[in-house]
Homo-oligomer: A and B are copies of this chain.
Amino acid sequence: MPDLIGPVEVVGTGLLGTSIALACRQAGLDVLLSDTSAEHIRTASGLGAGRPRQPGDVPQLVVVAVPPAMLGAVISHALAISPDAVVTDVGSVKGAPLMEVAALPGAERYVGGHPMAGSERSGPLAATPKLFDGRPWAVTPHAGSRPDAVALVEELARLCGAVPVRMEPAEHDLAVARTSHVPHLLAVLVAGRLADAPAEHLALSGQGVRDVTRVAGGDPLLYSQIVTGNAGAVLDLLGEVRDQLDRLIGALSAGDLGTLMGLLERGQEGTRAIPGKHGGPARPTATLYVSVPDHPGELARLFADAGASGVNIEDVRIDHDPGRPVGLVELVVAEDSADVLRAALESLGWAVHR
């Protein structure tokens, strides 16, 4: 099983490609950059992400990081022009590009991949070698993938700081339909109802609707390509959602409390099925609410005081309070630490409640 020694070629120097290139450079590997945009290559080179690929270069590994609709064509091209290289990609959907690639000569050198990382920004200037820190990175060999090719792609994931998660391509697509694409589309439909709303209605918006709709702010063109590329799995789940929506509408119309409660309880179960932080089982946590004046330094003072208590803070949220310059900060801590932290903060003059 060969080690990842490079050169690594990155095709597509956007956010993901350039971030991978930077991580490889940091590990001392020779990185070759290819892109249809010469300007992107210059920018990425300027950031220290590597050098343009030259005719004599022979990459050990090619990473294809182009828009979803282009994946199949660019992977095929990479297999053809680099006849000894392992080829992977970072696309959000794995079945569609594989269909275009599986029957080609060299397909045994292709292993799909999908790092679960991104940003609302795009392009090489947004890149960072830290983008993948601690993230799952799906590695999706097909039936004909060579074992050493799979190992090499997993090594790339680890080199980038991610955690490789091996799955079959079809499994991956079912998984992200459920955990990413369908949640995204439903958030879009909820957010679409807000676009029609009178401004005075939106004045009552709380943190809940902000959370439900946040992902709907993502790039429509990117998401149209993603869900189109995974249409089968997405449509199956959307059909299930439509059935459940019909049941919900029927129950609410008929005043059928039993069915309504059943649906609400099923949703509550679903929130508990999401794995906890660091992939472990969800630990019981408690939330403390602290009122914080909204000027520089107050958060620092709060976190310094919280840190001095020795309690580890699992999650933080600053609520958006319409109407006045006081923020409510939510501190999520292990259930059995909440009283310690609350007492510590109150003794220092913070207004805290659970």
Which chain A residues have a beta carbon within 8 Å of chain B's beta carbons? 116, 119-121, 126-128, 130-131, 133-136, 138, 162-163, 165, 167, 171-172, 174-176, 178-180, 182-195, 197-206, 208-218, 220-221, 223-224, 227-228, 231, 234-235, 237-242, 244-246, 248-249, 252-253, 255, 257, 260-261, 263-279, 287, 289, 291, 294-308, 310-318, 320-329, 351-354
Contacts of A295 in B (CB 8 A): 312
Please provide the 7 A-B residue pairs with the shortest distance between their CB atoms, ordered closest to farther: A300-B307, A128-B353, A188-B267, A191-B270, A163-B323, A279-B322, A220-B264
In the complex, which residue of chain B has the Cβ closest to the Cβ of A137? Answer: B323
Could you list 27 A-B pairs, sorted by A, with CB under 8 Å? A119-B287, A119-B289, A130-B291, A130-B353, A134-B321, A134-B327, A172-B204, A178-B193, A179-B197, A179-B209, A182-B190, A187-B267, A191-B268, A191-B270, A194-B271, A214-B271, A217-B272, A220-B268, A231-B253, A241-B245, A242-B245, A278-B294, A279-B323, A297-B307, A302-B303, A315-B318, A317-B317
- The answer on a CB contact under 8 Å between B307 and A299 is yes
**Interchain CA distance A275-B199 in the complex, whole Å:** 8
- The answer on a CB contact under 8 Å between A227 and B260 is yes
**Interchain CA distance A304-B63 in the complex, whole Å:** 39
**Interchain CA distance A83-B100 in the complex, whole Å:** 78
**Interchain CA distance A134-B206 in the complex, whole Å:** 12
- The answer on a CB contact under 8 Å between A178 and B203 is no
- The answer on a CB contact under 8 Å between B328 and A134 is yes
- The answer on a CB contact under 8 Å between A242 and B235 is no
- The answer on a CB contact under 8 Å between A179 and B192 is no
Contacts of A278 in B (CB 8 A): 294, 320-325
- The answer on a CB contact under 8 Å between A183 and B201 is no
State whether A204 and B176 are in contact (beta carbons under 8 Å apart), knowing that A134-B323, A279-B323 are contacts in the complex.
yes
- The answer on a CB contact under 8 Å between A171 and B326 is no
- The answer on a CB contact under 8 Å between A253 and B235 is yes
Instruction: Give min CB distance, A351 to chain B, whole Å.
Output: 5
Contacts of A183 in B (CB 8 A): 190, 208-209, 212-213
State whether A180 and B197 are in contact (beta carbons under 8 Å apart), knowing that A186-B186, A192-B270, A214-B211 are contacts in the complex.
no
Pick from B180, B195, B199, B210: contact of A206, CB below 8 A: B180
**Interchain CA distance A277-B327 in the complex, whole Å:** 9
- The answer on a CB contact under 8 Å between A208 and B184 is yes
Contacts of A303 in B (CB 8 A): 299-300, 302-304
**Interchain CA distance A299-B235 in the complex, whole Å:** 42
- The answer on a CB contact under 8 Å between B260 and A228 is yes
Instruction: Give min CB distance, A271 to chain B, whole Å.
Output: 4
In the complex, which residue of chain B has the Cβ closest to the Cβ of A225? Answer: B257
State whether A307 and B316 are in contact (beta carbons under 8 Å apart), knowing that A130-B289, A241-B190, A321-B133 are contacts in the complex.
no
Contacts of A175 in B (CB 8 A): 197-198, 200-204
- The answer on a CB contact under 8 Å between B133 and A185 is no
**Interchain CA distance A279-B204 in the complex, whole Å:** 10
Pick from B208, B266, B324, B352: contact of A180, CB below 8 A: B208
Pick from B174, B294, B310: contact of A201, CB below 8 A: B174
Pick from B126, B178, B300: contact of A197, CB below 8 A: B178
Instruction: Give min CB distance, A287 to chain B, whole Å.
Output: 7
Contacts of A279 in B (CB 8 A): 203, 322-323
- The answer on a CB contact under 8 Å between B216 and A268 is yes
